Amino acid sequence: MGAQFPSRHRWPVDLRCGPVVLRPLRRSDAAQWQQVRLRNAAWNGPWDATVPPGADRVATRFPQMAKAWERQARMGQALPFVICWDDSWPQRETRPRRLPMQGQMTVSNIVGGSAQFASVGYWVDEAIAGRGVMPTALALGVDYCFQVMGLHRIEVNIRPENAKSLRVVEKLGLRDEGVRERYLHIAGDWRDHRSFAVCAEDVPEGLLSRYLAGNPPRWALGG
């Protein structure tokens, strides 16, 4: 059980491990995005980024966000993925473009040169929570960044109160690097975040392989 990656990075790209699929976010996902976000307002709402006073609120609307993500993806500055769950697996694999959106994971702030790092943010539909979807998706994205894009460090920043998201990085064994005070504007104010990171040399066998070998979800065990 694992993932197959292309030999070099070229956007758009689809990634898969079993029933967990990452496909590129498209502007045509607008209706699905709004429906899933509305349905999960109570589940994800407390952790959603907000816009501080005086900032541009237009950029928070889906069409503008999707357009910006597409542009950044073409420039190699971001990887805006949709998270999907393929109910037809393992009998067959549904084409990624036909799978509905059930979450989002964005690799952003990709920096080259002497840094070679990026940060990752994510959310998932409560309907598929508890299946190991988010740890698998995050491990897929991290391995792609390390093995295909040649990045060295990936960082995830999480509110200290967000137990669900903290459990994701705990399952993957990411390194806790402490608190960043007033790091992001969340729920109407600047909030502290705990910073977690992993470097390429930390997971020479791949983060996904380490996760599946040490703490596999039920679907990976055939359950």
Domains and CATH numbers, the chain: 15-221 (3.40.630.30)
176 vs 54, residue with greater confidence: 176
| pTM greater than 0.85 | yes
pLDDT at 57 over 70: no
**Which backbone phi and psi does 80 adopt, to 5 degrees?**
-85, 100
Q: What is the DSSP letter of 101?
A: P
Q: Is 168 helix (H, G, I), strand (E, B) or coil?
A: helix
- Residues 83-102 have pLDDT tens digits of 999 999 999 999 999 999 99
- Residues 162-195 have pLDDT tens digits of 999 999 999 999 999 999 999 999 988 999 999 9
pLDDT at 4 over 70: yes
The whole-number pLDDT of residue 219 equals 87
Contacting residues for 105 by C-beta, under 8 A, at least 6 apart:
22, 81, 83, 120, 121, 122, 137, 138, 141
- Average pLDDT on 107-113 reads 96
pLDDT at 56 over 90: no
